[in-house]
């Protein structure tokens, strides 16, 4: 990394404050991530936004949650503490979907695991409150944002209250938060008590008196949704329908046992292109704090150091994705000038080798709202832009993205510009103008293009909110044709998901057969992970599709989930027993054997697949027919004993006689 003076970063110690002449900070930001001053990290954006608006901010990164003094190292702030778990929910950061502890943490020095607590927002906030009884605490980031109202918690397997209550914090800034955090800061600076900040968009607060009116929607109380899955599914869907800044109502969730109401104001309005540009033009150092250099640096920076975030938001709205709740469905984009300026700075980095690793966002080829009306009246409440069919009002247009990529390719020192963010192939294949598709294949694929069909069963895809498998097949066919036309040998790497609600063992077998026909076994498979605030997680917990309230099959048993996952990697010898069991349970023994369509060859000595033995003392002569009555190929003698047939294992070498 570049050797930067620590004064280029925000203060992380009393010494840093003294150098800047700061006696008391306005805000102290406590984060579960190491301090990386790069716009891909929420801590950097929020702290730099506050700095640009005249507030002083200090960073306490990964404090020792076992020591109350660790949150006191910068003293008491004038206006409040800001608390975030980091770029990921701390439970997702710590545990795999099988609830096993992960071995490394890319957001910690040297990738070391264990430097933040489980449920970090709650732990940090309670730690602060032990020492600072009345100082305002504002929580935000992905963990607080997606747990802002009552939610199902996969790791404890139960319903949990709003994180606002369990943390003891005063207010949540949810979503991306640039606007709401500045409004909160200015209100606190003007002397308004934090308990009276009930009017700011993009925030959640608690109160003893519930608001009322035509623009207020009262949800069922926590006491009711924690005992009724059907009621929770209905409540969750009402939350989902109120995530658009133009149409959302204020949501009120009662907590009778606490004599409190948790109130969610509508989301902050989308940022304009100018505001997005201003956010990314702030004086980030674009690297980790120099204190981490001796500890091995922060691995997460490698993923984003030479990548450009061109947009945010996603109107794809997949059921298993929390983007609808966090960034929203309205696309917000940066200007070409802003992106080109950042790219030029990138090329001056000594570590830059000529390759821009990515230009995108949640979905790379979304550069503007799906239709013109979205920036005037918001997104449709009861229909999706791409699912189950593309909306006739949607404007499918890659012109701006093509123009941007051409300008980036033309920059001095740039050899190649890759697109590695997710590509919505259904949006792409429905574009009548193939310019982007052709240039994507020709210039922007690094040998492999990653796409996310997720599954091949239309029933499962419907639960996922994804297009039918026929759409993906059209895309694959055209991608192959373009590669052949250009004399390129580039591959598609499909992201696949096992055990999503709606997926039965039979669906998993169909997916395995598809991979067999494709001649491909993925190295990585994503087993469905029930993270807070997604439609899929609601389905997983309730067994109901909240959109229709119809029952959904859910694979909740860990062993069945393991079988579905193993089927996708059926060629891996480690999965032999799981795949065998799955095929038998799915009544697909026809896929076990030596035929060309079989998924599995029985191992030598595995008697589960042997034909039944003849009855003892049977003197009935062999009549040349098999058990179904058909003539056997050889009638002069019975078939060779089972022990001499091919078992799937190579024959053993014989020794010399």
Binding residue numbers: 314, 318, 321
Backbone angles phi, psi at 332, to 5 degrees: -125, 130
Residue spans of alpha helices (H) in 29-157: 42-52, 90-94, 120-131, 141-146
Please report, in angstroms and rounded to a whole number, the separation of the first and last CA atoms in the chain: 67
Show the tokens assigned to 52: 């640009």
How many CB atoms are located within 10 Å of the residue 16 CB?
Answer: 17
Q: Is 449 helix (H, G, I), strand (E, B) or coil?
A: strand
Binding residue numbers for [4Fe-4S] cluster: 314, 318, 321
C-alpha span between 494 and 473 (Å, rounded): 12
Please report how many Cα atoms fall inside a 13 Å half-sphere around the Cα of residue 217, on the Cβ side: 19
Query: Which residue has 């993925």 as its token pair?
Result: 522
> With 0-12 CB in 10 A as exposed, 13-18 as middle and 19+ as buried, what is 372?
exposed
Show the tokens assigned to 458: 């239309």
Q: Is 61 helix (H, G, I), strand (E, B) or coil?
A: strand
- C-alpha distances out from residue 478 to 290, 471, 629, Å: 48, 11, 48
How many CB atoms are located within 10 Å of the residue 230 CB?
Answer: 13
C-alpha span between 267 and 564 (Å, rounded): 38
Helix-then-strand count for the chain, H and E: 23, 24
**Pairing mode of beta strands 544-545, 550-551:** antiparallel
Backbone angles phi, psi at 298, to 5 degrees: -115, 110
C-alpha span between 277 and 333 (Å, rounded): 9
C-alpha span between 271 and 287 (Å, rounded): 25
* Widest pairwise Cα distance in the chain: 103
C-alpha span between 83 and 81 (Å, rounded): 6
Query: Which residue has 């020192």 as its token pair?
Result: 413
């Amino acid at each position: 990394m570049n050797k930067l003076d620590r004064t280029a970063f925000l203060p992380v110690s009393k010494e840093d404050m003294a150098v800047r002449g700061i006696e008391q900070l306005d805000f102290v930001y406590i984060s579960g991530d190491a301090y990386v001053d790069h716009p891909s990290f929420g801590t950097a954006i929020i702290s730099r936004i506050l700095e640009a608006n005249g507030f002083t901010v200090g960073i306490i990164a990964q404090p020792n949650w076992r020591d109350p003094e660790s949150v006191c190292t910068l003293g008491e702030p004038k206006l409040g503490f800001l608390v975030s778990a980091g770029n990921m929910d701390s439970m997702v950061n710590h545990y795999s979907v099988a609830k096993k502890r992960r071995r490394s943490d890319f957001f910690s020095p040297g990738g070391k695991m264990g430097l933040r607590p489980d449920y970090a927002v709650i732990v940090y906030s309670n730690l602060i409150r032990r020492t600072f009884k009345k100082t305002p605490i504002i929580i935000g980031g992905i963990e607080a944002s997606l747990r802002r109202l009552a939610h199902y918690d996969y790791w404890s397997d139960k319903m949990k209250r709003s994180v606002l209550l369990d943390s003891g914090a005063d207010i949540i800034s949810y979503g991306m938060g640039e606007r709401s955090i500045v409004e909160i800061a200015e209100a606190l600076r003007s002397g308004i008590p934090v308990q009276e900040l009930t009017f700011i968009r993009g925030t959640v607060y608690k109160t003893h008196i519930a608001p009322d009116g035509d623009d207020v929607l009262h949800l069922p109380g926590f006491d009711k949704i924690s005992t009724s899955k059907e009621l929770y599914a209905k409540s969750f869907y009402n939350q989902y329908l109120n995530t658009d800044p133009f149409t959302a109502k204020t949501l009120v969730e009662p907590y009778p046992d606490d004599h409190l109401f948790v109130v969610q104001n509508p989301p902050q309005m989308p940022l304009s292109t100018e505001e997005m540009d201003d956010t990314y033009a702030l004086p980030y150092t674009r690297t980790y704090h120099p204190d981490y250099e001796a500890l091995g640096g922060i691995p997460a920076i490698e993923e984003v150091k030479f990548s450009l975030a061109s947009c945010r938001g996603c109107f794809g709205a997949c059921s298993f994705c929390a983007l609808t709740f966090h960034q929203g469905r309205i696309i917000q984009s940066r200007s070409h000038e802003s992106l080109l300026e950042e790219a030029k700075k990138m090329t001056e980095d000594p570590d830059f080798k000529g390759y821009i690793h990515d230009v995108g966002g949640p979905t790379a080829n979304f550069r503007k709202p799906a239709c013109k009306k979205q920036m005037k009246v918001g997104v449709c409440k009861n229909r999706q832009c791409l699912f189950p069919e593309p909306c006739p009002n949607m404007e499918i247009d890659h012109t701006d993205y093509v123009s941007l990529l051409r300008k980036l390719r033309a920059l001095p020192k740039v050899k190649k510009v890759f697109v590695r963010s997710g590509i919505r192939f259904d949006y792409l294949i429905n574009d009548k103008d193939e310019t982007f598709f052709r240039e994507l294949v020709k210039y922007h694929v690094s040998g492999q293009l990653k796409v996310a069909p997720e599954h091949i069963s239309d029933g499962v895809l419907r639960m996922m909110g994804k297009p039918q498998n026929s759409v993906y097949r059209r895309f694959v066919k055209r991608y192959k044709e373009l590669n052949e036309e250009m004399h390129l040998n580039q591959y598609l790497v499909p992201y696949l998901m096992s055990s999503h609600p709606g997926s039965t063992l039979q669906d998993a077998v169909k997916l395995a057969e598809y991979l067999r026909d494709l001649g491909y076994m993925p190295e990585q498979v994503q087993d469905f992970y029930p993270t807070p605030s997604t439609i899929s997680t609601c389905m997983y917990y309730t067994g109901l599709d909240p959109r229709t309230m119809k029952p959904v099959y859910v694979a909740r048993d860990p062993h069945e989930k393991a079988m579905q996952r193993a089927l996708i990697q059926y060629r891996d010898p480690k999965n032999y027993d799981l795949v065998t069991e799955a095929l038998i349970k799915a009544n697909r023994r026809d896929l076990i054997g030596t035929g060309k369509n079989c998924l599995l060859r029985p191992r030598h000595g595995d008697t589960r697949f042997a034909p039944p033995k003849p009855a003892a003392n049977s003197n009935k002569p062999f009549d040349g027919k098999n058990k179904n009555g058909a003539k056997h190929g050889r009638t002069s003698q019975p078939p060779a004993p089972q022990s001499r047939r091919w078992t799937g294992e190579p024959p053993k070498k014989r020794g010399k006689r």
